Structure 1
């Protein structure tokens, strides 16, 4: 039997909430670009402006919706509850006419609006999205994407990728145009709704570590754990083994030798390499080409300008050893100076007694930081691998103490991001460099990303730029990766709703550092919710299936993370050797999740697991 007292109390609370929602409508103009979405956003803000948990508990006890899934259609949900409770309280229910005039966006309309916005941004058929949620897949293009007549791009297209991302922090306009040309050729054979979209990520004011000085150091060749490849040539400089920054493939060490010795090398023969401290290692020739010879070295050895090779009666010194970046290894308690001065980074100068004469120092790419930071502010470098605390500021130098490192320390590297989670960095998200690129990018871009967007003004600036250029059909996607952006989300969304097509990227790499790793889970949930309220599609980004992408083996945590990405309208993958395999796995994960969930609603399909 229904509890009349509980019904009466609950009805009164719903009535007061309904009145608040009604007054929100009078503050908006019907002429707004996305009026219904804007109104629902305001309703969501009212719903979340107070603690509603007691009201939710009452609704639950009455077997009614507790509003936890009402974000995309707040007023419609409140009106439905009001009507039901009114009937139970023996009062006349609201008329259909009054309900229609008040709602302005029904539950079905909210779903249609969200699907329409997602289709406009990422492509696809609106009707198909209405019948069944389908999360789009975006993949970042590496520098070599146009090699072999764009074979990689064609493979990604065949795997069903809907969006390809170009990061303007790498390469240049000529490379991006070549990428776009391959995509355009593919799109010529597709229907409009099936065309691949191009997302261009403006680099923005990324603060990075500067260059580190190079030193003449011995070069390590080979390994004591396994046989390693080494290339011998007369043209390439001598350098250690490295990895391709995009594919992570190993690049063999190289040794430059005399032409006379090079011309005598034969397949299957052995060359002796003499290294530092009189040590030597044998290199067995496994491949002979016109421009290089590939060998297999048996163990680890260090070589310098005094090292040489012997083969039969021939001998050659090791030539042209490249200078290597100085290793700046930091430990907890060390001092590191971040400077605005244009100098090369270097490690600390230490006396034999262990006393530090001058601390380690490195420049940063952003000026005027010294006027913005305060003593005690935390600073993070390289995705949080190095944590610092500001000790003092001297002119253009920020003197920091290293807070946390591994027992063996951590190596400071060039071009690594620097985050200031407790410092408000006063800078526009769209830099002069970005503005200079926009004209060339407009030839092929479908979506423009605003890196380090902090406020609605950053969105408005790009809107103004595109309006002046007559490009109002280009989608705008602010990347949410700072603490300021999180606090300004309502204003950012309101500004986006003034534009024809827009979305939001939750860029969780920098965001995790800005808000704290322990807070990321709850904050990304809140961002999903408020975007749902505004009917604005979301891109789920950063390190999705990273292990699978680079090593062809995902971790269990990565699979769970990818599954949560199904709540977004698009999931972004980064670069990696195993892109095709990763896309297949991601699409399978998303398909399985969409059998049980649509956005944040659980679907009660027939369960066959236990039958």
Structure 2
């Protein structure tokens, strides 16, 4: 039986809501190139400026559709629900004249607009029915992607990948061109609706740690957990600590250089005894000899320098070829770190005979006039949040910080690591001179550009102006949302994007999690997805999707759930790794299953505070 009292109560609320939404027409330019998307965006912001939990619960009790899926067609959803309630109470429906005056998109038309914008940016045939959902997959290309005739790119495209990301923060125009040439060659044999797209990521003003001074430090070999393989070379070979190849994530064995007289006598089965700088001994069992290279297995972890003795086969010698390495700066919670914008080299703290810090550790920063942006109490994070700092004192050319977050055993501070300042508004443009130069190198093959460090609508306008000056109006624009201040400015950023023919948004969850707090990322990314849907703009879901599978071909359970959630976006980005083809195939299968069962989620529509004009910080604060 219908609860007429409940229906009347809901209808009264809709009367008020419709009045608010109608007001959005005033001040919205009817001649705007994407007028209806702009109008719907503003109506969505009006909808989210209040708490509609009570109305949502009433609709649920009346078995009516929820407003929690209305973001792409706010006014049409409100009118539909209003008519259902009004008719059930014996009243008339909204007149066609009044509906026409609303200038809103119908529900089906809004869904088609999102699908159309997604196809325009990411390509593909799209869903046969606009109400269905499809999600494209983009993969970041490594430096050697064009090797062997572009074998990797060809394998990825065969697996179903139709977007490829070229990151201008690495390599050079010749390498980027090689990647693009493979993709363009593949497109020559593909139908127009199945052409592969190229996403070129402009690096932006990434803030990083500077150079650390070089010292002739001991080389660490082996492990205390298990035996490890090392390479033994004769002089003049150099020794290196065990490290990781950034392109393949493969382990490179540590190397030990010996004097020629000792090296030449090594044979399979021999055992070398190595004494380290602390007087400990490790044994190296010779496994294989191949020309000028010898492979051995070391029994435990040792630190060696050129004072360390090596013996075996009746001969004795010394470790040789230790290279100059960056000084180890290990930070502990409670330590002090000085960050400077000068070109001074980083160095570890100097301690007195009691162990007390006499001179704090220091690192430089690539941001000019760094000290002018921060205030005491501001938070700073380094290396994806591995090191957390709080500004203690601001000096003329730097800041003194207290370490608030580090591993119990200390965290190593390294060169070229990203710096995040979530409490600090950096009034610097997203486009750097290098970005402008790189754009000219890639403009003839780029389908879309990723605008890194986009914080305001001005950053989008700058790129639009540059593309127009370069007669590149066909290239899509995708601002990367990776700072707290970009989140606050999202409505303005979206309105600026709607002035461009093809555009979308990337939710760069890595930096965004650090900037907004890891515990807040889940709700913020949902809010961003909904807001972009209100503007009918497609979204790229990025950072650490199926990262474990990309590295070792075995995903974690949490990553599978995360990949399924990514199906809410129009595109999902995978990073590079040795199992890229397998990972892309797995992601496409996950997305296909998700889209067979889910589309959008019902929400309670509590008041959204992220884009409240009263709460958003002003530029420059």
Same fold (TM over 0.5): yes
Write out aligned runs for 1:217-236 (5 A): 217-234=217-234, 236=237
Q: Describe the superposition over 1:539-589 as per-residue Cα deviations: whole angstroms up to 9, x where unpaired.
A: 111111222222333222222211111101111111222222222322222
2:504 maps to 503
* 545 and 129 in structure 1: CA distance in 2 versus 1, 3 angstrom threshold: farther
1:198 maps to 198
Partner Cα separation in structure 1 for residue 498 and residue 243 of structure 2: 47
* 126 and 224 in structure 1: CA distance in 2 versus 1, 3 angstrom threshold: closer
Of 315-324 and 51-60, deviating more is 315-324
Partner Cα separation in structure 2 for residue 294 and residue 418 of structure 1: 39
1:189 maps to 189
Write out aligned runs for 1:344-363 (5 A): 344-363=345-364
SS of 2:541's partner is strand
Partner Cα separation in structure 1 for residue 284 and residue 25 of structure 2: 79
1:210 maps to 210
1:146 maps to 146
* Aligned-residue offset at 1:282: 4.5
Partner Cα separation in structure 2 for residue 163 and residue 401 of structure 1: 43
* Aligned-residue offset at 1:253: 1.3
* Aligned-residue offset at 1:100: 4.7
Q: Specify every segment of 5 or more residues in structure 1 that has no aligned partner in the other structure, as ranges.
A: 603-611
Write out aligned runs for 1:557-576 (5 A): 557-576=558-577
1:607 maps to none
* Aligned-residue offset at 1:60: 2.7
Write out aligned runs for 1:481-500 (5 A): 481-500=482-501
Contact 1:566 1:599 in 2 (8 A): no
* 307 and 148 in structure 1: CA distance in 2 versus 1, 3 angstrom threshold: farther
2:324 maps to 323
* Aligned-residue offset at 1:131: 6.3
Partner Cα separation in structure 1 for residue 237 and residue 589 of structure 2: 45
Partner Cα separation in structure 1 for residue 62 and residue 5 of structure 2: 11
SS of 1:199's partner is strand
* 90 and 281 in structure 1: CA distance in 2 versus 1, 3 angstrom threshold: closer
Write out aligned runs for 1:30-41 (5 A): 30-41=30-41
TM-score (norm: length of structure 2): 0.91
Partner Cα separation in structure 1 for residue 60 and residue 273 of structure 2: 80
1:590 maps to 591
2:248 maps to 247
Partner Cα separation in structure 1 for residue 226 and residue 71 of structure 2: 57
Contact 1:238 1:318 in 2 (8 A): no
1:43 maps to 43
Partner Cα separation in structure 2 for residue 167 and residue 368 of structure 1: 27
Question: How many residue pairs are counted as aligned between the two chains?
Answer: 602
Contact 2:73 2:104 in 1 (8 A): no
Partner Cα separation in structure 2 for residue 197 and residue 236 of structure 1: 44
Write out aligned runs for 1:169-184 (5 A): 169-184=169-184
Q: CA RMSD in A?
A: 2.3
Q: Describe the superposition over 1:453-477 as per-residue Cα deviations: whole angstroms up to 9, x where unpaired.
A: 1111100110111111111111111
2:427 maps to 426
Partner Cα separation in structure 2 for residue 599 and residue 116 of structure 1: 18
Partner Cα separation in structure 1 for residue 464 and residue 581 of structure 2: 35
* Aligned-residue offset at 1:95: 3.6
SS of 2:371's partner is helix
* Aligned-residue offset at 1:171: 1.5
SS of 2:473's partner is coil
* 285 and 152 in structure 1: CA distance in 2 versus 1, 3 angstrom threshold: farther
Write out aligned runs for 1:144-543 (5 A): 144-234=144-234, 236-258=237-259, 265-266=266-267, 273=274, 275-276=276-277, 280-307=281-308, 312=313, 317-543=318-544
* 552 and 405 in structure 1: CA distance in 2 versus 1, 3 angstrom threshold: same
* 515 and 300 in structure 1: CA distance in 2 versus 1, 3 angstrom threshold: closer
* Aligned-residue offset at 1:280: 5.0
Partner Cα separation in structure 2 for residue 197 and residue 599 of structure 1: 27
Q: Specify every segment of 5 or more residues in structure 2 that has no aligned partner in the other structure, as ranges.
A: 604-621
Contact 1:76 1:103 in 2 (8 A): no
Partner Cα separation in structure 1 for residue 153 and residue 54 of structure 2: 53
Of 252-261 and 529-538, deviating more is 252-261
SS of 1:144's partner is coil
* Aligned-residue offset at 1:315: 6.3
Of 114-123 and 25-34, deviating more is 25-34
Of 292-301 and 245-254, deviating more is 292-301
Contact 1:330 1:405 in 2 (8 A): yes
Contact 1:567 1:600 in 2 (8 A): no
Contact 1:222 1:298 in 2 (8 A): yes
Q: Describe the superposition over 1:20-47 as per-residue Cα deviations: whole angstroms up to 9, x where unpaired.
A: 3233234333332222211211111121
* 252 and 314 in structure 1: CA distance in 2 versus 1, 3 angstrom threshold: same
TM-score (norm: length of structure 1): 0.93
* Aligned-residue offset at 1:494: 0.7
Q: Describe the superposition over 1:485-517 as per-residue Cα deviations: whole angstroms up to 9, x where unpaired.
A: 111111111111111111111111111121112
Of 114-123 and 286-295, deviating more is 286-295
SS of 1:149's partner is helix
Contact 2:507 2:525 in 1 (8 A): yes
Partner Cα separation in structure 2 for residue 129 and residue 256 of structure 1: 66
* 129 and 486 in structure 1: CA distance in 2 versus 1, 3 angstrom threshold: farther
Partner Cα separation in structure 2 for residue 150 and residue 258 of structure 1: 42
* Aligned-residue offset at 1:154: 2.2
Contact 2:68 2:601 in 1 (8 A): no
Partner Cα separation in structure 2 for residue 23 and residue 300 of structure 1: 71
Of 450-459 and 247-256, deviating more is 247-256
SS of 1:575's partner is coil
* Aligned-residue offset at 1:292: 2.9
Contact 1:218 1:304 in 2 (8 A): yes
* Aligned-residue offset at 1:534: 0.8
Contact 1:115 1:129 in 2 (8 A): no
Partner Cα separation in structure 1 for residue 212 and residue 515 of structure 2: 26
Partner Cα separation in structure 1 for residue 532 and residue 124 of structure 2: 20
Contact 2:340 2:363 in 1 (8 A): yes
Contact 1:207 1:418 in 2 (8 A): yes
